[in-house]
C-alpha cells in the first residue's frame, strides 16, 4: 500500500462533501415529491462512496487519484440521473455505475502488467473478431444492439477498449522492421490497418457512423506514437503526409457518406425543429433556459425529449444544474484524463495506452456535447460515466481501469512457460 | 522517457483542443441564448414603441388598447404568432425577449424596440385612405428614419387570426415591401439613365413631337394619355406631361445604346432580364427592389418597360429611396431603418441606429438636375393640391390586371432642411373611391412632426 493516509482521508472528505452538497441542493431546490426519495438517493450515494473507499484499499496501487475521481464523477452522475423529471433513485443507472466501478478494477488488474498483456495480443485480436461476428450475426437487421429481454447491449462499445489495447500492443513491434523489396515494414501495422478498416465497414453496416470518429481518434493517437518509434521525435514530413492523407480521407468520406449522414451534416435545426433538429434545438433552448445556475434538480423540461439521459445529457444537466456546474462536471472528467500528465505513466506501453484512452474520452465527450449543441453534426454517442447506458459505462470503466494501471503498473516479467523437449 | 513525453504531448493536444472548443461553445451559447429562447414557447416578449413612446406592440398581452388601435401598423409590426413572418416583431424576437442568461426570463423586464415610426401620422394616413386600399411610406432622407409605413387592408393583431380564410388579399403583408407596377414614376429612372449617358445639355437639347401616339421602328404603337398630343416638347415638359411618345422616342434615340441603359438600370438596383431579384433588408424585414426587361430599344416591351408598364416592377420602398438620392443631391440613397434603439431586459440600450448611405447609384450632377426638374414639376402642378411645401414630385398611373384597373402613384420629396421627407404613395384601383394621392400626401406631410 503506497497511499498516504492523510491524503486518503482528505480525498474521502472532499468526495463526501461534494456529494453531500449536491444532495443538499437537491433537497432545497429540487423537485422532490417526498423527503423519502431524497433520503433513499442520499443513502445510496453515500453508501457507494464508503464502499468504494474501502474496496479501493484492497488493491495495491501507487496512486488512487483516478479511483477518487471515478467515484466522484459516478456518484455525481447517479445524482443527476436520479433527478431528471423528479427526484427518485435511478436504480438502473446506480447498478450500471457499480458495474462500471467493477469494470475499472478488472481493467486495472488486466492491464497493470504490460509484458504479460503484450503476450496476450492474439487474444485481444480474437476478442475483437468475436465481437464483430456477434454484431454481424446476433444484432437485429443492420443494427448495433442486441436485445436480451429488457436489456439492450451494444457490443461495439466493448470493441473500443480492446482497440486501445491493440494499438498499444503494436508499439513494441515497431522495432522489428522487416525489409520487403526496398521498404522497411512492420507486419503488425498491417494488422492494425486491416482492423480499423474492418471496424469502419462494420460501423457503416450497423449504421452507427457516430462512433467512427472515436475509433479514428484512438487509431490516430496510436498511429502518431507508432510512426516515430523508436526515434523520440516527431518527423515533420511524416506528420504532414499523415495529415494530408487524413484530410483527403475525410473529404472522400463526406462526399460519399450515406444520405442520412448528409442530411445531418447540412441540417438547419432551427428551420427543421420538428424534424432532424428536434433534439438539438430543444437542448440549446434548455441550456439557455437553465442559464448559469440552472432551474433546480428535477425542474427541467428536457426529460420529455428523446434520449435526454444520454445523447443530450449535457443539456439536461445544464438546464437543471446550470451551465457552470455542467462545465465543472466536464472539467472533472478532463482532470481524470489529465492525471497521466501530472503523474507520467511508468512504461512506454502504458503511455501509448493512456493516449488511446484519452482519445476515447475526449472524442466521446466532443461528439456528444458539440453534437447536441449543434457545433458539429449530431451523432448520439455517450459522455463517459455521465450518460445512462450499460455498455458505455462498462467500456468507460475498463478505460478508467487502464488509466489506473498506467499509474500503478506491475513491473515484473511474466512467468516463462518452459517447453519440455 | 522521451517516448512517454511524446504520448503526453498527444494527450495535451487532445485536451487543449477540447477545452478550446468548449470555450467557443460556452461563448456561443452565452451570445445566442436569447435567440434560442426566442425560438421556444418560454419567451416573454417586451414592447415596441413609436418615436413618441406610444405602444405599437405589447408582448406582455396585459395592456388595454382601444379597438383597432394597432391596425395601421398591424402588417408591418406584426406579432409572434407565426402567421406573418416578414414583420418587425417576427424578425426581431431575440431583441424583444425579456430574458438574460444570468437572470432567466423576467415577466416585467424592460426589453423593448423603440421605432422611428410616428403612430399618429401613420394612423392619419391610414384613415385618409377611407375604404380604399394601397400603401404609403415616408422617411427622413437625411437620417433614414421611417416615419410612416402603412398598408391597406391591414389587421389589429390583438384580435388574433380567427376567420383568416376570409381576410382580404394582402392583409398580412406590408405592400410597401413588395414590387408593384410603378407607372410613370418609372420615368424618373429613365431620365436618370439618359442624363448619365447623354449629359444634361444633350438631353435638354432633344425635342420630340407627340401627336397622341407614336409608332416605333418595329411598327408598334405607344399611346399617350393625351389623345390630342402634346406637340413638340423637351425633357422637362415631357416629364411634367408624363408623355409616353416622347420617352419612346428618347429610348429609340441613336445615342442611347441598350447596353448602356441596362448598365444604368442595374446600378439603380433593377434586376434586368434574367437577373435575380435583389433585396434590401430593413431591420430584418426583407424588401424587394425592382425588376424590368430590356432587350431591344426598338421593341415595344422594352420601351413600355422604360415608361413604367409591361414587365417593370418596383417596390414603393425602393421608389422612395431613389427620391432620397435625388433630394440629397448626392446620388447616394439614404438607407431606411425602422429601429431607433433597443433596450434589454434591464432597460440598458444595447443598440442604436446609425444613418447609412448606399454606394453611388448616379452622379451628383444628375441628382441636381433631376431634383430641379421634379421641383419645377411640383411648383407648376402641385402648389394648389399640396400647398405649403417646397415639393419635388412625380405622379404615375399603373395599369394592372391587364388594364382592367389603374393604380395611382405619387413619389416625391420635400426640399426643406427642417422637414426632409421623401415618400411614395400608392392607391390601388384609383377609380374605386375618392381618395387621391395628393390628399394622402398632404395628410401625411401635415401630420408628420419632426
Q: Is A260 on the interface with B (CB under 8 A)?
A: no
Cα-atom radius of gyration of chain A, to the nearest Å? Answer: 22
Per-residue pLDDT at A256 exceeds 90:
no
Per-residue pLDDT at B431 exceeds 70:
yes
- Nearest Cβ partner of B11 from A228, A295, A355? A355
Q: Which three cell numbers stand for residue B293?
A: 426587361
Q: For residue B1, what pLDDT is reported?
A: 64
Lowest mean pLDDT among A198-202, A320-324, B153-157: A198-202
Residues of B in contact with A285 (CB under 8 A): 36-37, 39-40, 42
Rounded Cα distance, B364 and B369, in Å: 9
Per-residue pLDDT at B316 exceeds 90:
yes
pLDDT band at A331 (very low <50, low <70, confident <90, very high): very high
Residues of A in contact with B103 (CB under 8 A): 291
- Nearest Cβ partner of A330 from B14, B22, B39? B22
Residue A256: CA count within 13 A, CB half-sphere: 6
Spatial contact of B70 and B156, defined as CB atoms under 8 Å apart = yes
Asked whether the whole model's pTM tops 0.90, one would answer: no
**What part of A 131-190 touches B (C-beta under 8 Å)?**
none
Which helix (H) or strand (E) is B147 found in, with range? strand B146-152
DSSP B137: E
* Shortest CA gap A228–chain B (Å): 9
- Nearest Cβ partner of B3 from A340, A351, A359? A351
Lowest mean pLDDT among A1-5, B387-391, B402-406: A1-5
Look at A291 and B11 and tell me if their CB atoms are within 8 Å.
no
Spatial contact of B348 and B309, defined as CB atoms under 8 Å apart = no
Residues of B in contact with A229 (CB under 8 A): 3
Residues of A in contact with B85 (CB under 8 A): none
Per-residue pLDDT at B312 exceeds 70:
yes
Residues of B in contact with A370 (CB under 8 A): 21, 25
- Angle, nearest 10°, between helix axes A5-29 and A35-56? 170
The residues with which A151 forms a beta bridge, in sequence order, are: A148
Q: For residue B161, what pLDDT is reported?
A: 92
Look at B39 and A354 and tell me if their CB atoms are within 8 Å.
no
Considering chain A, what is the average pLDDT of its residues? Answer: 86
* Shortest CA gap B347–chain A (Å): 20
Interface test with chain A among B1, B2, B5, B6, by most A beta carbons within 10 Å = B6
The ipTM is 0.90
Look at A375 and B104 and tell me if their CB atoms are within 8 Å.
no
Residues of B in contact with A233 (CB under 8 A): 2, 6
Query: Would you list the DSSP string of A241-261?
Result: HHHHHHHHHHHHHHHT--HHH
Which helix (H) or strand (E) is A355 found in, with range? helix A348-372
For strand B285-288 and strand B332-335, is the pairing parallel, antiparallel, or unpaired?
Answer: unpaired
Report residue A56: phi and psi, to 5°.
-65, -25
pLDDT band at A264 (very low <50, low <70, confident <90, very high): low
Q: Is B82 on the interface with A (CB under 8 A)?
A: no
**What part of A 202-221 touches B (C-beta under 8 Å)?**
217, 221
**What part of A 371-390 touches B (C-beta under 8 Å)?**
373, 375
Share of chain B above pLDDT 70, in %: 100
Residues of A in contact with B2 (CB under 8 A): 232-233
pLDDT in tens, B318-350: 999 999 999 999 999 999 999 999 999 889 999
Look at A365 and B15 and tell me if their CB atoms are within 8 Å.
no
pLDDT in tens, A180-216: 766 667 777 788 888 888 988 888 887 777 888 898 8
* Average pLDDT rounded to a whole number, residues B253-277: 92
Per-residue pLDDT at A418 exceeds 60:
no
Interface test with chain A among B1, B3, B17, B28, by most A beta carbons within 10 Å = B3
Per-residue pLDDT at A334 exceeds 80:
yes
**Any idea which residue has 516479467 for its cell?**
A413
Q: Among all residues of chain B, which has the CA nearest to that of A282?
A: B40
* Shortest CA gap A47–chain B (Å): 33
pLDDT in tens, B51-86: 999 999 998 888 899 999 999 999 999 998 889 999
Per-residue pLDDT at B41 exceeds 50:
yes
Q: For residue B122, what pLDDT is reported?
A: 97
CA A326 to chain centre: 17
Rounded Cα distance, A380 and A311, in Å: 5
pLDDT band at B407 (very low <50, low <70, confident <90, very high): very high
Look at B11 and A323 and tell me if their CB atoms are within 8 Å.
no
Rounded Cα distance, B86 and B279, in Å: 13
Q: For residue A33, what pLDDT is reported?
A: 81
Report residue B427: phi and psi, to 5°.
-115, 125
Q: Among all residues of chain B, which has the CA nearest to that of A335?
A: B15
CA B280 to chain centre: 8
Per-residue pLDDT at A2 exceeds 60:
no
- Nearest Cβ partner of B101 from A292, A348, A373? A292
Rounded Cα distance, A258 and A41, in Å: 44
Per-residue pLDDT at A251 exceeds 90:
no
**What part of B 21-60 touches A (C-beta under 8 Å)?**
21-22, 24-26, 28-29, 32-34, 36-37, 39-40, 42
Q: For residue A417, what pLDDT is reported?
A: 55
Q: Is B335 on the interface with A (CB under 8 A)?
A: no
Per-residue pLDDT at A39 exceeds 60:
yes
Amino acid at each position: 500500500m503506497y497511499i498516504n493516509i492523510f491524503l486518503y482521508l482528505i480525498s474521502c472528505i472532499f468526495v463526501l462533501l461534494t456529494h453531500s452538497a449536491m444532495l443538499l441542493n437537491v433537497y432545497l431546490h429540487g423537485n422532490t415529491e417526498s423527503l423519502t426519495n431524497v433520503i433513499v438517493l442520499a443513502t445510496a450515494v453515500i453508501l457507494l462512496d464508503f464502499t468504494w473507499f474501502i474496496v479501493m484499499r484492497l488493491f495495491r496501487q501507487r496512486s488512487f487519484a483516478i479511483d477518487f475521481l471515478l467515484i466522484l464523477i459516478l456518484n455525481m452522475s447517479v445524482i443527476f440521473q436520479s433527478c431528471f423529471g423528479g427526484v427518485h433513485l435511478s436504480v438502473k443507472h446506480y447498478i450500471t455505475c457499480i458495474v462500471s466501478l467493477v469494470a475499472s478494477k478488472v481493467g486495472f488488474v488486466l492491464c497493470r502488467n504490460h509484458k504479460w498483456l503484450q503476450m496476450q495480443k492474439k487474444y485481444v485480436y480474437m476478442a475483437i473478431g468475436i465481437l464483430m461476428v456477434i454484431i454481424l450475426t446476433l444484432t437485429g437487421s443492420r443494427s448495433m444492439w442486441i436485445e436480451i429481454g429488457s436489456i439492450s447491449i451494444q457490443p461495439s462499445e466493448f470493441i473500443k477498449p480492446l482497440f486501445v489495447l491493440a494499438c498499444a500492443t503494436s508499439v513494441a513491434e515497431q522495432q522489428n522492421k522487416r525489409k520487403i523489396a526496398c521498404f522497411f515494414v512492420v507486419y503488425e501495422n498491417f494488422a492494425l490497418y486491416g482492423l480499423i478498416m474492418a471496424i469502419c465497414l462494420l460501423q457503416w453496416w450497423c449504421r452507427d457512423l457516430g462512433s467512427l470518429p472515436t475509433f479514428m481518434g484512438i487509431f490516430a493517437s496510436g498511429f502518431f506514437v507508432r510512426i516515430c518509434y523508436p526515434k523520440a521525435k516527431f518527423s515533420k514530413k511524416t506528420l504532414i503526409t499523415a495529415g494530408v492523407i487524413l484530410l483527403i480521407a475525410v473529404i472522400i468520406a463526406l462526399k460519399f457518406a450515406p444520405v442520412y449522414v448528409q442530411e445531418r451534416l447540412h441540417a438547419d435545426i432551427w428551420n427543421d425543429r420538428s424534424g432532424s433538429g428536434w433534439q438539438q434545438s430543444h437542448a440549446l433552448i434548455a441550456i439557455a433556459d437553465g442559464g448559469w445556475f440552472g432551474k433546480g434538480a428535477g425542474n427541467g423540461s428536457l426529460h420529455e425529449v428523446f434520449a435526454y439521459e444520454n445523447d443530450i445529457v449535457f443539456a439536461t444537466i445544464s438546464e437543471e444544474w446550470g451551465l457552470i456546474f455542467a462545465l465543472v462536471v466536464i472539467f472533472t472528467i478532463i482532470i481524470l484524463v489529465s492525471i497521466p500528465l501530472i503523474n507520467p505513466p511508468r512504461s512506454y506501453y502504458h503511455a501509448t495506452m493512456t493516449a488511446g484512452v484519452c482519445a476515447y474520452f475526449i472524442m466521446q465527450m466532443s461528439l456528444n456535447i458539440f453534437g447536441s449543441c449543434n457545433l458539429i453534426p449530431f451523432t448520439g454517442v455517450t459522455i463517459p460515466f455521465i450518460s445512462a447506458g450499460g455498455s458505455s459505462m462498462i467500456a468507460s470503466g475498463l478505460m478508467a481501469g487502464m488509466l489506473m494501471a498506467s499509474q500503478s503498473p506491475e513491473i515484473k516479467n511474466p512467468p516463462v512457460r518452459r517447453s519440455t523437449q | 522517457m522521451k517516448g512517454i513525453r511524446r504520448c503526453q504531448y498527444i494527450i495535451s493536444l487532445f485536451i487543449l483542443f477540447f477545452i478550446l472548443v468548449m470555450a467557443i461553445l460556452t461563448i456561443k451559447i452565452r451570445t445566442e441564448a436569447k435567440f434560442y429562447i426566442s425560438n421556444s414557447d418560454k419567451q416573454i416578449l417586451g414592447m415596441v414603441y413609436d418615436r413618441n413612446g406610444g405602444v405599437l406592440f405589447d408582448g406582455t398581452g396585459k395592456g388595454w388598447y382601444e379597438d383597432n388601435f394597432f391596425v395601421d401598423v398591424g402588417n408591418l409590426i406584426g406579432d409572434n404568432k407565426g402567421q406573418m413572418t416578414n414583420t418587425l416583431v417576427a424578425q426581431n424576437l431575440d431583441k424583444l425577449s425579456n430574458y438574460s442568461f444570468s437572470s432567466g426570463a423576467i415577466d416585467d423586464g424592460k426589453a423593448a424596440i423603440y421605432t422611428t415610426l410616428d403612430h399618429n401620422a401613420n394612423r392619419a394616413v391610414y384613415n385618409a385612405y377611407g375604404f380604399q386600399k394601397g400603401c404609403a411610406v415616408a422617411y427622413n432622407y437625411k437620417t433614414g428614419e421611417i416615419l410612416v409605413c402603412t398598408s391597406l387592408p391591414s389587421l389589429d393583431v390583438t384580435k388574433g387570426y380567427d376567420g383568416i380564410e376570409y381576410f382580404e388579399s394582402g392583409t398580412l403583408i406590408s405592400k410597401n415591401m413588395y414590387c408593384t407596377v410603378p407607372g410613370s414614376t418609372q420615368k424618373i429612372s429613365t431620365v436618370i439613365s439618359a442624363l448619365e449617358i447623354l449629359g444634361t445639355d444633350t438631353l435638354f437639347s432633344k425635342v420630340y413631337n407627340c401627336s397622341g401616339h407614336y409608332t416605333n421602328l418595329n411598327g408598334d404603337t405607344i399611346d399617350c394619355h393625351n389623345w390630342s398630343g402634346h406637340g413638340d416638347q423637351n425633357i422637362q415638359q415631357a416629364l411634367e406631361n408624363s408623355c409616353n411618345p416622347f420617352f419612346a422616342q428618347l429610348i429609340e434615340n441613336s445615342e442611347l445604346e441598350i447596353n448602356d441603359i441596362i448598365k444604368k438600370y442595374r446600378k439603380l438596383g433593377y434586376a434586368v432580364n434574367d437577373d435575380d431579384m435583389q433585396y434590401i433588408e430593413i431591420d430584418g424585414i426583407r424588401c424587394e427592389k425592382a425588376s424590368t426587361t430590356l432587350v431591344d430599344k426598338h421593341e415595344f416591351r422594352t420601351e413600355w418597360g422604360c415608361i413604367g408598364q409591361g414587365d417593370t416592377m418596383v417596390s414603393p420602398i425602393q421608389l422612395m429611396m431613389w427620391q432620397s438620392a435625388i433630394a440629397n443631391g448626392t446620388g447616394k440613397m439614404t438607407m431606411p431603418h425602422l429601429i431607433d434603439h433597443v433596450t434589454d431586459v434591464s432597460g440598458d440600450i444595447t443598440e442604436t441606429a446609425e444613418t447609412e448611405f448606399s454606394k453611388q447609384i448616379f452622379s451628383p450632377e444628375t441628382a441636381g438636375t433631376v431634383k430641379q426638374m421634379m421641383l419645377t414639376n411640383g411648383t407648376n402642378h402641385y402648389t394648389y393640391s399640396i400647398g405649403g411645401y417646397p415639393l419635388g414630385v412625380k405622379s404615375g398611373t399603373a395599369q394592372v390586371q391587364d388594364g382592367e384597373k389603374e393604380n395611382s402613384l405619387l413619389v416625391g420629396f420635400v426640399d426643406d432642411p427642417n422637414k426632409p421627407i421623401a415618400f411614395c404613395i400608392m392607391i390601388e384601383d384609383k377609380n374605386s373611391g375618392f381618395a387621391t394621392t395628393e390628399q394622402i400626401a398632404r395628410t401625411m406631410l401635415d401630420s408628420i412632426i419632426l
